[in-house]
Structure 1
């Protein structure tokens, strides 16, 4: 990857990820396919200016969905759950 912003695609905002953010100071991001933990760590530290303690990677598989007679699948997502050092935070909502 040429740029750190090419590695991190977007934050994932769900009820579970918000609970992780409040309780354990963990932030969940959708990341590009083919990146590793070290690249995600460097990208988060450079973009947001925080210290990263740990990075967990998750590959979600597509799920079968059906609407009426039409069938399809959801998109596969490559996630990174990043634990931020205590006392630091990432402001995702621009407050």
Structure 2
């Protein structure tokens, strides 16, 4: 059960993800880098009590940046866009975006 809550890290609240939510009932999340599509589906269905129809995942490489002679790198992360069944919605993400 604890693995279920470790998979979803935070909702992805960008302009593009809010448009996707309103038009296509698709929600974005930042997820654990080692999570599979099946694990993400199970976690979303269990935590939010909704039905997932489709999942798209994207692994994002962190950007490198410099400050004078010092160089650093932002961390890599993984995004998941989850499409829900018609009529389902996630109330927590709806409230956080307003």
TM over 0.5: yes
Give matches, 1:61-72, under 5 Å: 61-67=61-67, 70-72=70-72
Structure 1 counterpart of 2:86:
86
RMSD over aligned CA atoms reads 1.8
- Give the Cα separation in 2 of the matches to 1:24 and 1:15: 14
Higher helix share goes to which structure? 2
Give the structure-2-normalised TM-score.
0.85
Structure 2 counterpart of 1:57:
57
Residue 65 of structure 1: how far off its partner (Å): 2.5
Which runs of 5 or more residues in structure 2 are unaligned? none
Residue 71 of structure 1: how far off its partner (Å): 3.2
Give the structure-1-normalised TM-score.
0.88
- Give the Cα separation in 2 of the matches to 1:66 and 1:22: 38
Residue 56 of structure 1: how far off its partner (Å): 0.7
Residue 3 of structure 1: how far off its partner (Å): 2.7
Q: Which deviates further from its counterpart, 1-10 or 46-55?
A: 1-10
- The total of aligned residue pairs comes to 95
Which runs of 5 or more residues in structure 1 are unaligned? none
Structure 2 counterpart of 1:4:
4
Structure 2 counterpart of 1:32:
32
